[in-house]
Chains A and B, each alone.
Chain A
Amino acid sequence: MTDITEQEIDVFVGAVNHYFDQITGEKAKIRSSFLAEGDIRPPIYDFTGLISIGGDYRGCIYFSATRVMLMRLLLAMREPRQTDPHLLDAVGEIANTLAGNAREHFGETMAISVPMTFQGAAERLRMTVRERPYVIMIKWKQYEAAVIVDIAKK
């Protein structure tokens, strides 16, 4: 049985908010939130960064965003290079940051991997540890992204 508390989902929501606030000075909005249940699949945008979770927990966290959002983020970081490899780098770094920040709550016993990144839809996202992974839809300016939390205690 999965056993993630609301607090723990809030950890990720907080990390997302903090990320956008720190990097761009503009908070992201939560557009909506739902469960990846039944026919409802988590959304996959242009670029996706995935962090595998180990240690006392298992599963993964992933951050998926549209190309334009990532380009705008790089601009906010004053990064002039906007090639696909750079966008992949960025999406991986965001996923890594979100997962890393979550350790403040989960502790060091939640091991996190280096980011795995890919472009476009991917078969690899046929996860899941949870019956119903959490999907948090993010809106920053008019751009979209999603954080998918699919972790459970061992």
Chain B
Amino acid sequence: MRLLIVDDSSIIRSRIARIMNDPRLPTLMIVGMARNGAEALELFSQSHPELVTMDLTMPEMDGVECTEAMTNLNPEAHILVVSALSDKATAIKALKKGAKGFLYKPFTDEQLIGALLEVMS
């Protein structure tokens, strides 16, 4: 499965990337990492990932907008929102725009794996 990681923090990006070798997850191939929505969308249309982790607060196109654009390109994409924004309205909006799941920051490795497995199921 192809994975695209979207987050403006390089630390979060590499943290998510490191988790991909966990044996509980299916084989994941990271096809790209993006720092903002615009970059993410470009990578998305180039490499057609099936799985995306999506930050929301980012410069140049936020995550909700980006999720919507991705879902328009490929409604089958499994988008997991990974964000610190903990208000209900944002989560509802993201889910409505096509996200399949929501994971709040800060997260533990276990929580990330669980959330990834859930959006893939």
Q: A23-B106, A77-B15 are in contact. Are A114 and B57 (CB under 8 A)?
A: yes
Please report A residues at the B interface, Cβ cutoff 8 Å: 18-19, 22-23, 74, 77-79, 81, 86, 89-90, 92-93, 96-104, 106-108, 112-114
**Per-position binary interface string of chain B over residues 16-54, scored 1 when its CB falls under 8 Å from any chain A CB and 0 otherwise:** 001000000000000000000000000000000000000
The bracket for how many chain B residues form the interface is 20 to 34
Q: List 22 A-B contacts (CB under 8 A).
A: A18-B106, A19-B106, A23-B106, A23-B108, A74-B11, A78-B15, A78-B18, A79-B11, A89-B9, A89-B10, A93-B9, A93-B11, A96-B9, A97-B105, A100-B83, A100-B85, A100-B105, A103-B87, A104-B86, A108-B87, A114-B8, A114-B57
> Can you name 8 extra interface pairs (CB under 8 A) apart from A81-B14, A100-B86, A107-B87?
A22-B108, A23-B106, A23-B108, A79-B14, A89-B10, A106-B87, A107-B89, A108-B89
In whole angstroms, how far apart are the Cα atoms of A142 and B24 in the complex?
Answer: 36
B49 to chain A, nearest CB (A): 23
- In this assembly, does B72 line the interface, its C-beta being within 8 Å of a C-beta of chain A? no
A-B residue pair count with CB separations less than 8 angstroms = 66
Tell me whether B59 is interfacial, beta carbon within 8 Å.
yes
- Which of B11, B57, B89 sits near A100, CB closer than 8 Å? B57
CB < 8 Å neighbour of A112 from B10, B15, B57: B57
Contacts of B18 in A (CB 8 A): 78
